Amino acid sequence: MTTATPEEARIQIVNLVREFVRRDVEPVAAELDREDKVPHDLIDKMKGLGLFGITVPEEYGGLGLDYTTFANIFEELSKGFMSITGAIGTHHILTYVLMHYGTEEQKQRFLPDLASGRKRGGLALTEPGGGSDVANLKTTATKDGEEYVINGTKTFITNGRYGDSFCLLARTDEAADPPYRGISCFVIEKGDPGFKVGRDLDKMGYRGLDTCELIFDDFRIPADNLVGGQEGRGFSQVMSGLETGRINIAARAVGVAQAAFEAAIRYSQQRETFGVPISQHQAIQLKLADMATKVQAARLLTYDAAAKKDRGDRVDLESGMAKLFASEVCQEVALEALRIHGGYGYIKDSPVERYYRDAPLMIIGEGTNEIMRLMIAKQLLNLPQYQI
């Protein structure tokens, strides 16, 4: 019996995901978007495909695949219905943080259930008054014997209602200077009355996925749930995890942009004006050429960041560039697809209307693009070759 090579394993899982999207996701995408209904049956099928443990090592029950395959999967899912990626997006930030910073006991306790999808994970990071200003978050975790007591509110939490476990950032040292040194990372689980799910957020796009507020009122967790067993390291732990989050956001953007482009080029060959398909008009050809070129450039940036992550390198610069460029391209291509469709692109029956509403999520998700630009510039200015 021969073992599949990494490339063969990648091709196999990506083909399975592509077929899953074609057979099960695309036929119901419009309905899920319209009704804002969480597709628990599709999520169960994603569990069966192993998509909750794409990069989790096999010893903990995952597929043990690389980040290039990870990006491939997110692109394919997003071509069919971008919201379906939300079930596994921040889930993978939780598994990443555990894999790289958790104690062995924490890995053994949490990863098998997360990798199999028996438990759905998320990231409890954003706060109502904080947004991208993570270093000044207000949620607190106060040590009380063998427990921590959590108080505060998080918002825009994907998997908030149907998730089970979350990677939570909270302040354990109010006097720390700079403030980020007083932030710690915890794995929290539902079940205590002090952990409540607040309102569901009614979103413009990214529908068919639970996005909620989480409220902590004297919520007690075991001290053993402090990631790595040390306080004050949560900010750097989660920022490292967000490198992979930005790769998945960039891959989502590529997937939506590719879907919008394909819809536009098909429509341009079917719609006729002045006796010929509109694809024969130079104005449309110029749009198609620019759209295809920019989508491919975004794809190459995304897979360059994934490949560097696979080599074990730090990729905050590359993942930030990929996320920034791919998300802006996605918004541009979605708008151009809508314009090529004309009035038909503006009605709910057209998938390009959904692509146009979904595209902004990638611009603001995992750090707004304004923050991305600042981060990229800071990284560039610190590179040795640019030192004066």
Active site residues: 366
Residue of 310, 319, 249 lying closest to 6 (CA atoms): 310
Determine the angle formed by the axes of helices 316-341 and 234-270, rounding to 10 degrees: 30
Q: C-alpha angle 363/114/183, rounded to 5°? A: 60
Other Cβ atoms closer than 10 A to 15: 11
Distance CA 21, CA 358 (A): 17
Distance CA 372, CA 369 (A): 5
Contact 87, 219 (CB under 8 A): no
According to DSSP, the β-strands at 211-222 and 272-273 are unpaired
Phi, then psi, of 316 in degrees rounded to 5: -60, -35
Supply 75's token pair. Answer: 């692109």
* Burial (CB count within 10 angstroms: exposed 0-12, middle 13-18, buried 19+), residue 35: exposed
3-class DSSP state for residue 82? helix
Tokens 């509403």 belong to 357
- DSSP annotation string for 296-362: HHHHHHHHHHHHHHHTT---HHHHHHHHHHHHHHHHHHHHHHHHHHGGGGGSTTSHHHHHHHHHHHH
Q: C-alpha angle 13/106/250, rounded to 5°? A: 40
Residue of 266, 344, 333 lying closest to 294 (CA atoms): 333
Distance CA 327, CA 287 (A): 18
Residue of 363, 281, 268, 378 lying closest to 325 (CA atoms): 363
